[in-house]
């Protein structure tokens, strides 16, 4: 008997389904005619997201999302850069906190102790951030 664990195989269809759901959440409050550097707040019953349009191309947009949390020595406010693919109708986290490039799969253990499915986990966390309740866009500039 071998004591080796089988190699992790990412669930691609599950990941794409998650990115599709995130796209649907974002589309509810994404302005049609936003310009690069525009910022706005999305207010829900469970908090406020601050959104900045970083990049705008024909088929994609790059958004910077953050959620204010009271100042704490233990927690940083969540912040992520999200690529929105309008042609594929997907939204994917590109960077999050101190992770500047997410790999599809990480070996485990690794130097930074990322989970093997870190990319999926970060996108699942984005989905939770986007579910802040009934949404209302405030302060589009």
DSSP H or E segment with residue 113 = none
CA distances from 120 to 15, 57, 75, 76, 99 (A): 6, 25, 21, 20, 13
pLDDT (tens digit per residue) in 62-89: 999 998 777 666 777 788 999 999 999 9
**Sign of the CA dihedral running 30, 41, 126, 110:** positive
pTM: 0.82
pLDDT (tens digit per residue) in 84-121: 999 999 999 998 766 666 767 767 776 766 666 778 88
């Amino acid at each position: 008997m071998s004591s080796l664990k089988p190699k992790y195989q990412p669930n691609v269809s599950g990941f794409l389904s998650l990115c599709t759901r995130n796209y649907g959440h974002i589309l509810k409050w994404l302005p049609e005619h936003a310009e690069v550097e525009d910022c706005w707040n999305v207010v829900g019953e469970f908090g406020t997201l601050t959104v900045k349009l970083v990049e705008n191309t024909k088929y994609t947009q790059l958004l910077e999302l953050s959620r204010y949390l009271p100042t704490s020595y233990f927690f940083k406010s969540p912040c992520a850069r999200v690529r929105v693919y309008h042609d594929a109708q997907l939204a994917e986290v590109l960077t999050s906190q101190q992770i500047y490039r997410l790999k599809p799969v990480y070996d485990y253990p690794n130097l930074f102790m990322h989970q093997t499915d870190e990319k999926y986990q970060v996108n699942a966390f984005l989905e939770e951030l986007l579910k802040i309740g009934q949404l209302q866009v405030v302060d589009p500039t």
